[in-house]
């Protein structure tokens, strides 16, 4: 049996899986890494720690599946997208990575020369000017890391999203490439021509030579070349070193950003099909087919994947806080000791008692794009207790997704009869039922929540010739639980209006 080694490099951890020729995805291995919050609104990662977490996750999966040793046919990578790294030709990061959630570049986004290009940026890149995207992060690094601008100009430094950095490190610096889905989140990429836009490179002062080469999602990204000395220096045991060295010579043949990877893994491969992934953030994507649609409602348009010369596009709504709301209830408020407790609290009361949470912990994403907005809890009374606040937190996730899906329908004229969902937060049956009620459609949860890894593996398998085509992978999709809408249209309208009122309070509070 031949296997595809699938790496899912996420916001809080890295996972590794094995995918076989019959589309069976193994249980994954999980390596968490530290989150850094140097200032309010700032989020950073140690890029070297991320790379080591990838190696650790791969070592663990190979140890758990000795039958795979020597039988890895290809590697697929999926990754957190906009997170940005500056690193030297040796692969060593100059400083901590700036995470996609980070708001430190809000002031850069307000610069007149950048604001003046807002319309063209949307028309060319499909994005909105926001700290979310990589271009302002790159500019911040150029302005704040000593000698970095000079090094980039001289070809002695690189600026990259996670995928380009991992490809560079895993191939020993022999390959430096990024797929279209990741490139199209930089705010530098012409999604129609599929190349960096020279005017935007000039606008942000970024030399093209320091950026990863844009390539298709299914492509040969180079051959893995791990060094024994590095593995020893980072504390790997002999068995793990031998297992990791066994994948030297394997080619990386598929790379996708995490959200389009989930779209592919969910088998939403035809125009109008949609999925929502509930992770740290929540991301709803609709397949647009081979022609991009630009939103009039503040949504984003990106390349989803490009296979054998054909590029598919996706309309996307990005919510910065989803699973992180549950983490907030647990870690900061101490209201729960485990996320699984949420459903019990939610079901213990009839409703929130008029309490709404707008979780703008790191600003508001689509459709508002207010990077300086801050969270707000409205409708508190003397009777408000822990259960009401927990339920308001869980419900806030569903309200945000519903708003985005309704805007997608307005942009495209397409109302999907089904929403495919995945991600760890889908474990909340309360949330899933509420989401089905608010959308008025059937929610189908994938049997596995690891659809990002699945998508990366499928892309790698197509390029490696393990799977004949993207259509041939449709048979691998396996549905799990489904939820049917039960709520009346009046109740849905009433709930959504309550949430919108809370958002208006956030926007009028002076925090934007």
Q: pLDDT tens across 370-420, in order?
A: 877 889 999 999 999 999 999 999 999 999 999 999 999 999 988 877 899
Supply the pLDDT for residue 79: 97
Q: How confident is the model at residue 206 (pLDDT cuts 50, 70, 90)?
A: very high
What pTM, to 2 d.p., does this model score? Answer: 0.89
Other C-beta atoms lying within 10 Å of the C-beta of residue 347? 12
Supply the pLDDT for residue 511: 47
Mean pLDDT of all residues belonging to the chain: 93
Q: How confident is the model at residue 483 (pLDDT cuts 50, 70, 90)?
A: very high
Q: With pLDDT > 70 as the criterion, what percentage of the chain qualifies?
A: 99
- HEC assignment per residue over 211-265: CCEEECCECCCCECCCCHHHHHHCCCCHHHHHHHHCCCCCEEEEEEEHHHHHHHH
- DSSP one-letter code for 328: I
Find where tokens 């300086």 sit: 372
Supply the pLDDT for residue 423: 85
Give pLDDT tens digits for 432-457: 999 999 999 999 998 888 999 999 99
- For the cut 80, the answer to whether the pLDDT of residue 509 exceeds it is no
Supply the pLDDT for residue 502: 93
Tokens of 187: 């705010």
Measure the CA–CA gap between 216 and 198, rounded to whole angstroms: 20
Which whole number is the average pLDDT over 81-98? 97
- For the cut 50, the answer to whether the pLDDT of residue 501 exceeds it is yes
Supply the pLDDT for residue 484: 95
Q: How far, rounded to the nearest angstrom, does the alpha carbon of residue 65 sit from its chain's CA centroid?
A: 28
Which whole number is the average pLDDT over 153-177? 97
Measure the CA–CA gap between 90 and 103, rounded to whole angstroms: 29
Supply the pLDDT for residue 512: 42
Which whole number is the average pLDDT over 467-493? 92
Q: What is the DSSP string of 191-208?
A: TTTTEE-HHHHHHHT--G
Measure the CA–CA gap between 311 and 216, rounded to whole angstroms: 8
Which whole number is the average pLDDT over 501-512? 77
- For the cut 70, the answer to whether the pLDDT of residue 321 exceeds it is yes
Q: How confident is the model at residue 368 (pLDDT cuts 50, 70, 90)?
A: confident
- For the cut 80, the answer to whether the pLDDT of residue 366 exceeds it is no
Q: How confident is the model at residue 510 (pLDDT cuts 50, 70, 90)?
A: low
Q: What is the DSSP string of 339-354?
A: GGGHHHHHHTSSS-TT
Tokens of 145: 């890391």
Measure the CA–CA gap between 54 and 382, rounded to whole angstroms: 49
Given a contact cutoff of 8 angstroms between Cβ atoms, the answer to whether 15 and 28 are in contact is yes
Measure the CA–CA gap between 206 and 204, rounded to whole angstroms: 6
Q: How confident is the model at residue 187 (pLDDT cuts 50, 70, 90)?
A: very high
Supply the pLDDT for residue 364: 83
φ/ψ (deg, to 5) at 215: -140, 170
Give pLDDT tens digits for 257-273: 999 999 999 999 999 89
- For the cut 90, the answer to whether the pLDDT of residue 81 exceeds it is yes
Contacts 24+ apart (CB under 8 A), 149-155: 149/205, 151/88, 152/206, 152/207, 152/209, 152/210, 153/207, 155/209, 155/210
Q: How confident is the model at residue 298 (pLDDT cuts 50, 70, 90)?
A: confident
Which whole number is the average pLDDT over 94-114? 95
């Amino acid at each position: 049996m031949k296997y595809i080694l699938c790496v899912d490099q996420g916001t809080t951890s890295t996972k590794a899986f094995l995918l076989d020729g019959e589309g069976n995805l193994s249980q994954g291995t999980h390596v968490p890494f530290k989150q850094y919050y140097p200032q309010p609104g700032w989020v950073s990662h140690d890029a070297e720690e991320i790379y080591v977490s990838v190696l650790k996750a791969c070592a663990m999966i190979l140890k758990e599946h000795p039958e795979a040793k020597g039988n890895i046919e290809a590697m697929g990578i999926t990754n957190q997208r906009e997170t940005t790294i500056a690193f030297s030709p040796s692969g060593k990061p100059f400083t901590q990575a700036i995470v996609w959630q980070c708001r430190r570049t809000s002031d850069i986004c307000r610069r007149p020369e950048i604001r003046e290009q807002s319309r063209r940026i949307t028309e060319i890149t499909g994005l909105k000017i926001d700290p979310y995207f990589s271009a302002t992060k790159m500019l911040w690094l150029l302005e704040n890391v000593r000698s970095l601008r000079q090094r980039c100009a001289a070809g002695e430094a690189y600026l990259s999203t996670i995928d380009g950095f991992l490809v560079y490190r895993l191939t020993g610096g022999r390959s430096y490439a990024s797929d279209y889905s990741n490139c199209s989140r930089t705010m530098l990429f012409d999604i129609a021509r599929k190349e960096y836009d020279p005017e935007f490179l000039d606008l942000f002062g970024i030399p093209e030579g320091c950026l990863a080469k844009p390539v298709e999602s299914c492509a040969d990204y180079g051959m893995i070349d791990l060094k024994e000395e590095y593995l020893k220096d980072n504390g790997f045991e002999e068995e793990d070193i031998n297992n990791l060295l066994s994948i030297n010579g394997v080619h990386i043949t598929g790379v996708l950003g995490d959200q389009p990877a989930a779209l592919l893994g969910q088998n939403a491969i035809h125009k109008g099909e949609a999925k929502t992934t509930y992770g740290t953030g929540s991301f709803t994507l609709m397949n647009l087919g081979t022609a991009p649609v630009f939103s009039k409602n503040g949504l984003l348009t990106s390349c989803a994947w490009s296979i054998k010369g054909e590029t598919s596009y996706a309309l996307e709504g990005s919510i910065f806080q989803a699973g992180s709301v549950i983490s907030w209830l647990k870690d900061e408020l101490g209201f729960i000791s485990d996320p699984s407790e949420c459903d019990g609290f939610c079901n213990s009361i009839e409703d929130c008692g008029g309490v709404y949470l707008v979780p703008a912990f790191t600003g508001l994403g689509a459709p508002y794009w207010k990077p300086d907005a801050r969270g707000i809890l409205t409708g508190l009374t003397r009777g408000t207790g822990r259960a009401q606040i927990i339920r308001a937190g869980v419900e806030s996730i569903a309200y945000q997704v519903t708003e985005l899906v309704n805007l997608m329908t307005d942009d495209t004229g397409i109302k999907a009869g089904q929403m495919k969902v995945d991600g760890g937060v889908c474990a909340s049956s309360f949330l899933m039922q509420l989401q089905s009620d608010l959308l008025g459609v059937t929610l189908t949860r994938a049997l596995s929540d690891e659809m990002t890894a699945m998508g990366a593996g499928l892309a790698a398998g197509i390029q490696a010739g393990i799977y004949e085509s993207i259509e041939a992978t449709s048979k691998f999709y396996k549905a799990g639980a489904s939820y049917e809408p039960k709520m009346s249209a009046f109740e849905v309208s009433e709930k959504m209006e309550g949430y919108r009122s809370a958002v208006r309070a956030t926007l009028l509070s002076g925090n934007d």
